[in-house]
Amino acid sequence: MICTNKDCATDFNARTHNQKYCSDECCRLATNKRIMEKYYEKKAIKNGATRLCKKCSAQLSRYNQESLCSTCEKSIEIKSKSMMMDILNEIK
């Protein structure tokens, strides 16, 4: 196993199959890093940083906390709805 902490990336023998980090310290550091990244992301949104839609790269409104623009959100909604209809039709 390679430690999931990118700054460490040590090759280690996992004691359990779902062990992701070589040590508790690495696990703690990686968790902290994730929390900080989330914090900075939120802060950037508040400061009006430009964020782009993950799907179509349209600029997101600073009031939009999602990673998709409203157009893409809607198209996904429609898609999942029509998929539900397909499933229902198959059952009939």
Q: How far apart are CA 6 and CA 4, in angstroms?
A: 6
The CB-of-72 to Zn ion minimum distance in angstroms stands at: 3
Applying CB under 5 A, the span of 23-31, 40-48, 59-67, 79-87 interacting with Zn ion comes to: 23-31
The CB-of-79 to Zn ion minimum distance in angstroms stands at: 13
The CB-of-20 to Zn ion minimum distance in angstroms stands at: 9
Q: Which two tokens stand for residue 73?
A: 């959100």
Q: Does 30 bind Zn ion (CB under 5 A)?
A: no
Give the list of residues 6+ apart from residue 21 with CB closer than 8 angstroms, or none.
3, 4, 5, 8, 27, 30
Please report which helix (H) or strand (E) contains residue 23, including its range: none
Q: What residues make contact with Zn ion under the rule CB under 5 A?
A: 3, 5, 8, 10, 22, 26, 53, 55-56, 58, 69, 72
